[in-house]
Amino acid sequence: MLTKIAGGDIIDPANGRIGKGDLWISDEAIAEAPAGGEADRTFDASGCIVMAGAIDIHSHIGGGNVNTARLLLPEQHAAHMPRPAATPLSNAGWSTFETGCLYARMGFTTVVEPAMSPYAALHTHLELADIPIIDKATLAILGNDDFLLSMMRDNASPAMIEDYVAWTVASTRALGVKVINAGAAAAFKENVRTFALDDVVPSYGVSSRNIVKILQAAVDRLGIPHPLHVHCNNLGAAGSADTAAATIAAADGLPLHLAHLQFYGYGTEGRRKFSSAAARLAELVNATPEVTIDIGQVMFGRTVTVSSDVMRQFSARGTANPKKFVIHDGDGNGGGIVPYRYRPDYYGTTQWAVGLELFLLIDDPWRVFFTTDHPNGAPFTVYPQLFKLLMSRDSRNEMAAGLSKSALGLSTLASIDREYTFEEIAIMTRAAPAKLLGLADRGHLGAGAVADVAVYRQDKDITKMLGRAALVFKNGDLVVKDGEITHYRWGSALRLDPPPEGAMVRRLEDFHQQRYGLSLDWFTFPDTAITREKPFGEVPCRSR
Amino acid sequence: MAVAWIGNREAPVEHAAEHAAALLASSRCPVISFDTDIHGTRAAIALAERVGAAYDHLDGKALALEAALFTDKGGMFVAPGEVRRRADVIVVVGELPEVHHGLVAELAETAPDFSSASGRAFFLIGNAETPTLPLGDTRKAILLLCGADLGATLAALRAQCAGRQVAARVENFDRFVGALAAARFPVFLFSSHTAGGLALEMLQGLIADLNNEGRASALHLPVSESGWGAVLASTWMTGFPPRASFARGFPEFDPWRFDVARMLAGREADCHLWISARESLPLPESNGVPLIVLAKTSKPVTGAEVTIAIGEARVDHDAVVYSARTGSLRSVAARSASQQPSAATVLRLIAGHVAAEAPSPC
């Protein structure tokens, strides 16, 4: 089928195409304009902006910890809408089905679940397979697991560590690797309560820095397109900017991605010894081209923090609102679920301002990524409001007027005039994420790309405009019209498939038999365990 | 071999599914109770949405207690693999379901490799009637006892650990405190098999206290593995664990209102779909409510308007199930693959005969 999206303002920075024109789709892919060809169907996009489908690189949308958060908080997602006829289960509050629908309505077509515990990979992929419309991907967590730490303690060769990383990525069907407070979960099991970059994990004799560096190098040498995704130590602590600065410096010329940098943007100035250090961190990021970051913006209201940083979540349990939490000592990281309410007080204002400062002071939109660390900083449903704050200085000032003046007094936010353009938004949410993740087939509107397209009717109200897309196509299939889901289709989970090395598989079999009394197949699964027609999509590694 | 019946008459599966769909669609308050694998559970919940049914697991009563620990309170938990590798003191809370006795025996036979301890100390919180633990011939768990009630013993234990006065002391408390003082990672094994809601909450209070200075956690050994799998699948699909209902067109969670056994006993339900391939379970009775049964059977179920034979997960067909041994979902190949359809296959067939604007999502 040949589809024509006619007369829209096309914003495709990856291909340098900015301006009014037509976009052609042939079946599931973007196509060149056919010579004299007639479209089978035409959509009038005059008065609309046309962009590739958006990509979210860090949003906790499925897996054990996310599901435990749902279980912990039935009162926060009680559904209240009658069921839309054509979209089964889509009004089930905070469910997999609702997740896919809400993302698609905003023009997002690919979302990465950034914290998959390897032993819960099947559970995670089953949840992701029940998220309709969008494509998904996962990052496998390493860095607190006994197998890796033992290899490091025993001075295993880099090749052996690469084999283990490759096996983990392949067997869990992941798109990359994440390390979360490297070594801290292992240390917490030994009753250690704080853990910094150069602290050493008891019993293993390896530091957090060692773990990050070893994994960073392994990911790079394996040709995994996405750099090691790092959740640093000391999340949320006053003075954590020092930790983030030290981690940025540790990149040392190799690619490194720092997750939700906002949660580390805190200095120790002011009466409360808690202040914005965003300007300092932005300067460091600007000066370190091998580093990319996502923000983890805080917005005000009730949410729940869901993290595999079990040590941090344990220390935050006293802030639970309502007063209930789950702490899980897992194989490897485990995790913690602590409901939380961001208030527009001194601390909340500081966090809000830090995120915006980082967005606005980091110069290169190819290296800063749009996230709220859903649901940790805020649910992803606040994205339209956040776009508005980035694109309008007046909106920021209007909101700041109702917030803590003493917090803003220690921030540079009021002095920043920058307003994001649509082109920068398209880079940050489309072109750059595709590049960062190694997804050459999306994030742009060039011929041959997957026809993931979002069309927004222009409106002075950015929240309204970007909150309900006029049209969304997924693989060329119209799935959203006038902000409403038309029907389901089932996307895939994008995965790498580095070939596992036989000796490593045998070694892991022995390890699981000896340490857990179970064979390795208790922890692995065939593709057929996911009962969708095409559960996985293949993404190539960089050639080595 | 016949695989479906309408009443006592043999029928093609397609016709039986169509008849079942008509019964469900024409009822005003249908209910579904099940004990099946993850994909069967997903299909049952998708069908529940389509026909506006309430749904519950066949072990719903005990599972509701365990789910309530999470929905109402939360707590601290540990993965089974970490228990094997790390726990130097094991405290069993009440009586555990038999399915978990193998794990207890395994813990007794092994030593934690993350600890210098050569073995594990075992304690049992219970009463004189609580069966002994399967620890082998040479070992015995030390009984912690304070009256007949499990919750009272846990409360006294917590109070004594915190240095507070108690009216009645826990038997063997000094040995328990001594073991805790030497322990690096004590773990409490629990299920709702004999422990009630208040006992589980008190247990979590004790664990929270112990974590103020040291480490301790709890291993959840669910009263039903398929039941806990259903809790997980239901929660990701609807936001809620069972007992939930789609009677108003959207999911609602209410462990009392949507207790299917209660709804049937109270004559609130007017159609019952029962799903289980476990041959050890007693088959349901109609009791005047139109009954549809999906079971591993070679004959029609007495009183059922529709019976459809299904295969057993893990035996007749590959399955995804919850495993308490790993604390997560696991893929299991069929032991003896057969032509018997899975519960999920039959449920999708039924859903296909209920008028809807969109295909079933599961």
SS3 state at A410: coil
Tell me what percent of the residues of chain B surpass a pLDDT of 70.
99
CATH number of B4-59+225-352: 3.40.50.740
Report if residue A42 sits inside a domain.
Answer: no
pLDDT tens digits, one per residue of A220-230:
999 999 999 99
Q: Are strands A256-258 and A291-294 parallel, antiparallel or unpaired?
A: parallel
Q: Is A489 on the interface with B (CB under 8 A)?
A: no
CA distance between the termini of chain B? 28
**A328 pLDDT higher than 60:** yes
Report if residue A40 sits inside a domain.
Answer: no
- 8 Å CB contact between A508 and A487: no
Residue A382: domain span: 50-494
What does the pLDDT read at residue A78?
A: 61
SS3 state at B92: strand
Instruction: Give A539 to chain B, closest Cα distance, Å.
Output: 24
What would the two tokens of residue B37 be?
């694998």
Q: Is A526 on the interface with B (CB under 8 A)?
A: yes
Q: Which residue has the higher pLDDT, B70 or B194?
A: B70
What would the two tokens of residue A231 be?
């959740």
Tell me what percent of the residues of chain A surpass a pLDDT of 70.
98
pLDDT tens digits, one per residue of B20-67:
999 999 999 999 999 999 999 999 999 999 999 999 999 999 999 999
DSSP helix, strand, coil percent of chain B (3-state; round to 5): 35, 20, 45
What would the two tokens of residue A447 be?
């011929």
What does the pLDDT read at residue B245?
A: 97
Backbone angles phi, psi at A389, to 5 degrees: -65, -35
Q: Are strands A135-142 and A108-116 parallel, antiparallel or unpaired?
A: parallel
- By Cβ distance, the residue of A71, A80, A528 closest to B235 is A71
Chain A residue with the nearest C-alpha to that of B248: A82
- Do the Cβ atoms of B239 and A88 come within 8 Å? no
Taking the C-alpha atoms of residue A483 and residue A474, their distance in angstroms, rounded to an integer, is 14
- Do the Cβ atoms of B318 and A330 come within 8 Å? no
Chain B residue with the nearest C-alpha to that of A70: B239
Dihedral through CA A421, CA A422, CA A427, CA A431, nearest 10? Answer: -170
Report if residue A511 sits inside a domain.
Answer: no
Chain A residue numbers touching B204 (CB-CB < 8 A): none
- Do the Cβ atoms of B77 and A314 come within 8 Å? no
Instruction: Give B168 to chain A, closest Cα distance, Å.
Output: 30
Chain B residue numbers touching A310 (CB-CB < 8 A): none
Report if residue A182 sits inside a domain.
Answer: yes
- Do the Cβ atoms of A79 and B250 come within 8 Å? yes
Report if residue A246 sits inside a domain.
Answer: yes
What does the pLDDT read at residue B283?
A: 95
Distances (CA, A) of B53 to A94, B10, B207, B217, B249: 20, 27, 39, 38, 9
Amino acid letter for position B130:
T
What would the two tokens of residue A145 be?
């697991």
Q: Which residue has the higher pLDDT, A454 or A498?
A: A454
- CATH 3.40.228.10 placement within chain B: 67-220
Q: Is A528 on the interface with B (CB under 8 A)?
A: yes
Q: Are strands A135-142 and A176-180 parallel, antiparallel or unpaired?
A: parallel
pLDDT tens digits, one per residue of A440-449:
999 999 999 9
pLDDT tens digits, one per residue of A221-273:
999 999 999 999 999 999 999 999 999 999 999 999 999 999 999 999 999 99
Instruction: Give B213 to chain A, closest Cα distance, Å.
Output: 8
Domain at B67-220, CATH from 3.10.450.50, 3.40.228.10, 3.90.226.10, 1.10.1200.10:
3.40.228.10
Q: Are strands B74-78 and B89-93 parallel, antiparallel or unpaired?
A: unpaired
Chain A residue numbers touching B50 (CB-CB < 8 A): 88
**B172 pLDDT higher than 90:** yes
What does the pLDDT read at residue B174?
A: 97
Q: Which residues pair with B125 in a beta bridge?
A: B93, B144
**Binning pLDDT at 50, 70 and 90, where does residue A81 land?**
low
Average pLDDT over every residue of B141-145: 94
**A82 pLDDT higher than 60:** no
What does the pLDDT read at residue A501?
A: 82
**Binning pLDDT at 50, 70 and 90, where does residue A500 land?**
confident
Q: What average pLDDT is seen over chain B?
A: 95
What is the interface pTM, i.e. ipTM, of the complex? 0.97
Report if residue A513 sits inside a domain.
Answer: no
State pTM to two decimals: 0.97
Average pLDDT over every residue of A182-186: 98
User: What is the DSSP code string of A360-374?
Assistant: HH---TTSEE---TT
Report if residue A35 sits inside a domain.
Answer: no
Taking the C-alpha atoms of residue A418 and residue A397, their distance in angstroms, rounded to an integer, is 12
Q: Is A319 on the interface with B (CB under 8 A)?
A: no
Taking the C-alpha atoms of residue A41 and residue A44, their distance in angstroms, rounded to an integer, is 10
pLDDT tens digits, one per residue of B238-252:
999 999 999 998 899
User: What is the DSSP code string of A471-537?
Assistant: EEEETTEEEEETTEE-------EEE--PPPPHHHHHHHHHHHHHHHSS-GGGT---GGGS-SSS-EE
- 8 Å CB contact between A165 and A174: no
**B2 pLDDT higher than 70:** no
- 8 Å CB contact between B192 and B200: yes
**A80 pLDDT higher than 60:** no
SS3 state at A140: strand
- Do the Cβ atoms of A80 and B250 come within 8 Å? yes
Tell me what percent of the residues of chain B surpass a pLDDT of 90.
88
The number of angstroms, rounded, from the C-alpha of A327 to the middle of its chain's C-alpha atoms is 22
Q: Is A304 on the interface with B (CB under 8 A)?
A: no
Q: CATH number of the domain that A149 lies in?
A: 3.20.20.140
- 8 Å CB contact between B239 and B233: no
What would the two tokens of residue A40 be?
């089978």
Burial code of B183-192, b = ≥16 C-beta within 10 A, e = fewer? bbbbbbbbbb
Chain B residue numbers touching A515 (CB-CB < 8 A): 81, 84-85, 113
**Binning pLDDT at 50, 70 and 90, where does residue A184 land?**
very high
Taking the C-alpha atoms of residue A211 and residue A205, their distance in angstroms, rounded to an integer, is 11
Taking the C-alpha atoms of residue A124 and residue A471, their distance in angstroms, rounded to an integer, is 29
Taking the C-alpha atoms of residue A93 and residue A76, their distance in angstroms, rounded to an integer, is 8
**Domain tally for chain A?**
1
Report if residue A12 sits inside a domain.
Answer: no
pLDDT tens digits, one per residue of A345-360:
999 999 999 999 999 9
Dihedral through CA A17, CA A21, CA A27, CA A31, nearest 10? Answer: -50
Taking the C-alpha atoms of residue A298 and residue A279, their distance in angstroms, rounded to an integer, is 17
Taking the C-alpha atoms of residue A234 and residue B6, their distance in angstroms, rounded to an integer, is 64
What does the pLDDT read at residue A86?
A: 62
Q: Which run of H or E residues covers position B157?
A: helix B150-161
Taking the C-alpha atoms of residue B302 and residue B307, their distance in angstroms, rounded to an integer, is 9
Q: How many CB atoms lie within 10 A of CB B102?
A: 11
Q: Which run of H or E residues covers position A213?
A: helix A208-222
**A122 pLDDT higher than 90:** yes
What does the pLDDT read at residue B293?
A: 98
- Do the Cβ atoms of B249 and A203 come within 8 Å? no
**Binning pLDDT at 50, 70 and 90, where does residue B115 land?**
confident
